[in-house]
Amino acid sequence: MSDRTRLARPRHLATAVLAVACLAAAAACAPGPSGGSPKSAAKSNASPVSTDPATAGKVTLTEWDQNTDTGTNASTAALNKAFMEKYPNVTIKRVSRSFSDLKTTLKLALSSDSPPDVVQANQGYPDMGAFVKAQLLQPVDRYAKAYGWNTAFPSQLLDLNKFSPDGKTWKTGSLYGVSQTGEIVGVFYNRAKLKSLGLTAPTTLAQFETALAKAKASGLLPISYGDSDKSPGIHIFGVVQAATAGKEEVRGLVFNDGDAKWTDAGTVKAGQTLRDWATKGYLSPGFNGQSGDQAAAAFAQGKSLFLVDGTWQAATLAPKMGKNAGFTALSPSAGASPLTQGGEGLAWAVTSKSEHPDVAAAYINFLVDQNGMRVSADNGNLPALPPADYKPAAGTVQADVLDQWKAVSQKDGLLPYLDYTTPTFYDTLTAALQELTAGQLTPQKFGETLQSDYSSFQQSK
Amino acid sequence: MAATAPRPTTRKRPADVSHRRAAGRRDRVQWKGYLYALPALTVLTVFLLVPLGQLVRISLYHWDGLSASTWAGLANYTEIARDPQLRASFGHSFVLIFFFALVPIALALVLAAVTTRAARLRGVSVFRAVIFLPQVVAMVVTATAWTAVYAPEGVLNQALNAIGLESVGRSWLGDFGTALPAVGLIGTWLEIGLCLVLFIAGIGQIPRELYEAAKVDGAGAVREFFAVTLPGLRGQITVALTLTVIAALRTFDLVYVATHGGPGNATSLPAFEVYNRAFNTGQVGSACAIAVVLTGVILLLTFLITKLQPEDDES
């Protein structure tokens, strides 16, 4: 049975088969669709818009969202149910995944032959830009006109969901979706502890740093911070950078216009500031080894004075801290309006291959009209367009969040998330921030690392 | 069990005989044999070789996974050689080989030698099951549990504080110096059970007479280990080495759950880069090139390891 020659022959055969299979595969055409032939349903773009789903016959609408946390999950479920009750001929099939799961699986789903009808697409080049470029989403301009989205949403919010048809230029061209929720990054504070230190809620970076020093001196941990999952670094850095670099520079950097560089003084100074906070012990010890959720939990337990995070944490903090939690956004200087990272939730978009684009658009409108916004607010979320009569109880964190959102979004204070910059920027920035705060990179080198990612994307465009 | 011990000379002769015997009618037998292999070969081709070919093909293109691709030639491969971060990720996986393969095998050899000296161990099967448990638990669970152990206020630091070693305590997975070894030690914990079970079974197959002969010749425990146990376990060591080295090189879930490749890129690994580039950053061509290189490295190392195996041991 151990005949050497007989064993050896199949080995040759296997090699041959392997080679043939590899060659056959390699000889086939290039991966991805061949360029040039738009496969979006041009016919549907030409036909007039029907805004009444009741006339569409029996329709099954598949939607993919990332609303897995308590507040957004409840509001999406409620609105889906209400829509199906209003239009019994429509069945909504909901697929809900966490943000990172959605990010990785949506690409595959969209490029399949039967993609979902409605999807939540993340703004920026890596996601929406890539989808538009591959013609997987359809422009919703005609629906925006029919449903009045163009007038309901401030242009600042609409622009984030716009792309040129080739997916190469952001914030101009056609509208590819609208968002239901708003969000900003800011500073959560512990009211009782702030008061015991004799401080009021900081409104500028200088006041914030004074409070940090005072807390440290009194033996209280100034900021709960955990960066093992890498994304919290972007938020805390962005809050500092907004103050040190200003809005023109940050927008120029992220939206790729103007000649601002990541090595400019404002960004390097932000890096230096964050680095100093780490060395002075203003951040949780061992922050690179604990998660953002652990940091938020520690803040909620009163172990620190501040937490720098997004408004999406409010729904988690409020039940644990009650009125003890407050929220503020920082301004570059005293008297100026607040300036911070933020924007809107993922855009609700219609896929190119959807067989019922009119019903899909009617569904999206159902999510973002006055009633949709109210249901969203009732479930503890921050709606992108807060209804006029939406008033959270005074002294709660929700009231603070709403005030700050109004101040920031109505006074042109929204800055884009920094990871929008290039498709690889999330990786580059988060890794560089961990290196910066651990003292592995100087602020200058940190800026150079970011700039090199930025310039290689500019060249490849 | 002693009867199964392979004796080089008895094995070789029949092989030579059958070789001569088969020479005359080789062709007829051969084609019939292929027919039997056809189903397996079809499955292999459809599910393994064709995807492998596609992998190689995509690695020659710049592709974002969605829109049209452009020909890249070997650019994705030269990038691996040039990009310090990618080279570092391959470097990290060689560090992991130390923790996943060398340490567990060394420790398991010692433990196996010690346990087998206890002639009649009560409840040995329970003991084996327990030691094998890490292999059975899902990697995500393992990684999550160890993350809690290594956390700034985790079990490890609490234990260090309890014995007055506060100064040693740190955020083990968040510290640039300790993150990779910390991940590696999880691998050690994972693989040691596998190695130990393999070695205990292997020692069981070594003829008792050899140990008795060693004893008669006056060999002590150490001498006995090097003269009898170690040579007898060569086959098992090769198997353990192959399995653990492959486990080290293709580690993904551990790092994905525990560190996301951080802090910085201190624990980034080729398999993690493949995932990240293919699904997050839209660099599918580059991801495939890394996968091809990783496959090549694994094949090469496995081939080198099989060279360690005794020539006649073909089982």
Residue-wise pLDDT for B122-137, tens only, equals: 777 787 788 888 888 8
Range in A394-403, B233-242, B303-312 the model is least confident about: B303-312
Q: Taking CA atoms, what residue in A is nearest to B179? A: A289
The answer to whether the CB atoms of A28 and B34 lie below 8 A apart is no
| pLDDT above 70 for A199 | yes
Residues in chain B: 315
Place of tokens 């596998």: B194
Q: What percent of chain A has pLDDT over 70?
A: 90
* Mean pLDDT, residues A295-315: 93
Structure tokens at A341: 């990272």
pLDDT higher than 50, residue A2: no
| Of the listed ranges A8-17, A222-231, A245-254, A452-461, the one predicted with least confidence | A8-17
Q: What is the pLDDT of residues A83-99, one digit of tens each?
A: 999 999 999 999 998 88
Q: Min CA distance, A203 vs chain B (Å)? A: 31
CB pairs A-B closer than 8 Å: 187
Q: Which of residues B192 and B20 earns the better pLDDT score?
A: B192
Per-residue pLDDT tens for A123-157? 988 889 989 999 999 999 999 999 999 999 988 88
Q: Residue range B46-68: average pLDDT?
A: 91
Element (H, E) at A185: strand A182-190
**Using one digit for the tens of pLDDT, what is the confidence trace for A216-254?**
999 999 999 999 888 899 999 999 999 999 999 999 999
Strands (DSSP E) found in B24-148: 61-62, 70-71
Q: For A289, which residue in chain B has the nearest alpha carbon?
A: B174
pLDDT confidence of residue B17: 44
d(C-alpha A460, C-alpha A108), whole Å: 24
Is A407 a residue whose pLDDT tops 80?
Answer: yes
Mean pLDDT, rounded, of chain A: 88
Are B18 and A3 an interchain contact pair (Cβ–Cβ within 8 Å)?
yes
Residue A412 has a pLDDT of 87
Q: Which of A25, A31, A430 sits opposite B61 (nearest CB)?
A: A31
Please tell me the distance from the alpha carbon of residue B297 to that of residue B89, in angstroms, as a whole number.
13
Q: Which two tokens stand for residue A78?
A: 């409620």
Measured CA to CA, the distance from residue B280 to residue B36 in angstroms comes to 43
Range scoring the smallest mean pLDDT among A175-189, B86-100, B151-165: B151-165
Using N-to-C axis directions, what is the helix angle for B179-205 and B139-150, rounded to 10°?
Answer: 130
Strand partners, A331: A204
Chain B neighbors of A30, CB-CB under 8 A = 61, 63, 68-71
- A31–B57 CB contact, under 8 Å: yes
Task: Identify the pLDDT of residue B159.
Answer: 93
Judge whether residue A457 has pLDDT over 90: no
pLDDT score of A458 more than 60: yes
Q: Estimate the share of chain B in helix, then strand, then coil, as percent rounded to the nearest 5.
A: 75, 0, 25
Question: Packing angle between helix B139-150 and helix B155-162, nearest 10 degrees?
Answer: 40
Q: What is residue A168's predicted lDDT score, i.e. its pLDDT?
A: 86
- Give start and end residues of each alpha helix (H) in B118-178: 124-136, 139-150, 155-162
Q: Look at the pTM and tell me if it is higher than 0.90.
A: no
A380–chain B nearest CA distance, Å: 30
Residue A440: list chain B partners with CB under 8 A: 176, 264
Tokens for A322?
Answer: 């009650």
Q: Which one is predicted more confidently, A422 or A250? A: A250
CB-count burial class (<10 Å; 0-12, 13-18, 19+) for B166: exposed
- State residue B291's pLDDT score: 96
- Between A46 and A152, the more confident residue is A152
Give buried/exposed letters for B273-288 (b at 16+ CB in 10 A, else e): bbbbbbbbbbbbbbbb
CATH architecture for the domain at B75-308: Orthogonal Bundle (1.10)
Let me know: does B289 contact B77? Beta carbons within 8 Å. yes
> Cβ of A85: how many Cβ atoms within 10 Å?
8
Residue A8 has pLDDT above 50, yes or no: no
Residues 38-97 of chain B whose Cβ lies under 8 A from any Cβ of chain A? 41, 45, 49-50, 52-54, 56-58, 60-61, 63-71
Give the three-state DSSP class for A309.
strand
* Amino acid code (one letter) for A208: F
B-chain residues near A426 (CB < 8 A): 280-281
User: Is the pLDDT at A312 greater than 80, yes or no?
Assistant: yes
Task: Please answer yes or no on whether A423 and B173 come within 8 Å at the CB atom.
Answer: no
Distance CA B89, CA B81 (A): 11
User: What's the gap in Å between the CA of A253 and the closest CA on chain B?
Assistant: 19
* pLDDT at A10 > cutoff 60: no
> With 90 as the cut, is the pLDDT of residue A18 above it?
no
B90 to chain A, closest Cα gap in Å:
17
Q: What is the pLDDT of residue B310?
A: 65
Q: Show the tokens assigned to B198.
A: 């393999």
The whole-chain average pLDDT of chain B stands at 85
Cα–Cα distance for residue pair A279/A15, rounded to 1 Å: 58
Do the strands A325-328 and A347-350 form a parallel or antiparallel pair, or are they unpaired?
A: unpaired
- What is the pLDDT at residue B168? 86
For position A36, what pLDDT does the model report? 43
A434 pLDDT exceeds 90? yes
Sequence spans of domains, chain B: 1-27, 75-308
Number of CB atoms found within 10 A of residue A352's CB: 23
Question: What span, in angstroms and rounded, lies between the C-alpha atoms of B261 and B3?
Answer: 50
Pairwise CA distance, residues B60 & B49, whole Å: 17
Q: What is the per-residue pLDDT for A271?
A: 97
Going by C-alpha positions, the residue among A202, A437, A431, A232 that lies closest to residue A338 is A202
What average pLDDT does the segment A3-30 reach? Answer: 51
B4 burial level (CB within 10 Å; 0-12, 13-18, 19+): exposed
Is 90 exceeded by the pLDDT of residue B13? no
pLDDT at B112: 87
pLDDT category of residue B21 using cuts at 50, 70 and 90: very low
CB B255 within 8 A of CB B142: no
| Mean per-residue pLDDT, A10-39 | 55
Sign of CA dihedral A246, A250, A256, A260: positive
Q: Among partner residues B18, B19, B66, which is closest to A130 by beta-carbon distance?
A: B66
CB atoms within 10 A of CB A262: 28
Comparing A51-60, A86-95, B240-249, the range with the smallest average pLDDT is A51-60
Banded model confidence at residue A50, pLDDT cuts 50, 70, 90: confident
Smallest Cα–Cα separation from A184: which of A337, A323, A387, A370? A337
Residue in B closest to A287 by C-alpha: B174
Site from A7, A11, A17, A22 to mutate, B interface, most B CB atoms within 10 angstroms: A22
